[in-house]
Structure 1
Amino acid sequence: MTLFARFSALILALCLALPAMAMSLDEAKNALDSAKNQGLVGETPTGYLAAVSSDQKAQEIANAINDARREAYKEIAEKHGIAVTKVETVAGQKAVEKTPAGQYIQVKDRWVKK
């Protein structure tokens, strides 16, 4: 086997393994409260979570939860015949309002401890 063929096989194997390494929604849900309390993730006015720092686990949690939120927002928008952005905005406002003291929210592109 040539070096190129070996390299191609390695790249293919890595690409196939990446989805298996992603955090599941259940894992993300279980880790979310702790991550919020530690200041690793926060709510944004756009209706989605974001990592407060560059922590990889925080990003994985946010990605998994955001994927589920995105689908839910899409379904709500379709059901009510409104734009997804409207659902995102309302959800973001509610999430920011419900965020307890001591956790982070995003205000004008800056993280603020509520």
Structure 2
Amino acid sequence: MKQLLIAVFVACLTVTSVSASAQQLSLQEAKNQLSNAKDQGLVGEKPDGYLGAVKDTETASQIAKQINEARRKEYIRIAEENDIAVADVELLAGKRAIEQTKSGHYIKVDGKWRKKP
């Protein structure tokens, strides 16, 4: 039951994962920023539950950093609430994020960035 609860929550988290950036972006602005970055091929999902910069640009790195900070905090919270390892939450989140990634967006497979078919 715990794993199902975590899976559902993490699935929701990976779809709506955003951060309150230094510029105090609204939730919708952050979602739009992430979506646009994925559409442009700047960032992609990694199996470890975090975003990676597909293109080596300041924008891609900054977006990945902001989102990953928020994700990390949430993964820690989920792990503590459920008395499980953060690494387990990260891996489950990464699996869900890759599964839910839209076709044409980047995912990291075997250490290489690829567009999801």
- Alignment TM-score > 0.5, same fold: yes
User: Is this contact kept in 2: 1:36–1:42, CA < 8 A?
Assistant: yes
Distance apart, 1:53 and its partner CA: 1.2
The 1:56–1:24 alpha-carbon spacing in structure 2 relative to 1, beyond 3 Å, is farther
Instruction: Output aligned runs, 1:63-102, within 5 Å.
Output: 63-102=65-104
Residue number among 50, 59, 62 corresponding to 1:60 in the alignment: 62
TM-score, scaled to structure 1: 0.76
Amino acid at match of 2:67: I
Confirm whether residue 109 of structure 1 aligns to residue 75 of structure 2.
no
Task: Quote the Cα distance in structure 2 between the aligned partners of 1:41 and 1:106.
Answer: 10
1:53 partner SS: coil
The aligned counterpart of 2:11 is none
Amino acid at match of 1:39: G
Q: Which has the higher helix share?
A: 1
The 1:32–1:96 alpha-carbon spacing in structure 2 relative to 1, beyond 3 Å, is same
Structure 1, unmatched stretches of 5+, are 1-21
Structure 2, unmatched stretches of 5+, are 1-21
TM-score, scaled to structure 2: 0.75
Amino acid at match of 2:104: G
Amino acid at match of 2:42: L
The aligned counterpart of 1:49 is 51
Percentage of pairs with the same residue: 54
Look at both structures and tell me which one has the larger radius of gyration over its CA atoms.
Answer: 1
Give the aligned CA root-mean-square deviation in angstroms: 1.7
The aligned counterpart of 1:5 is none
Distance apart, 1:30 and its partner CA: 3.1
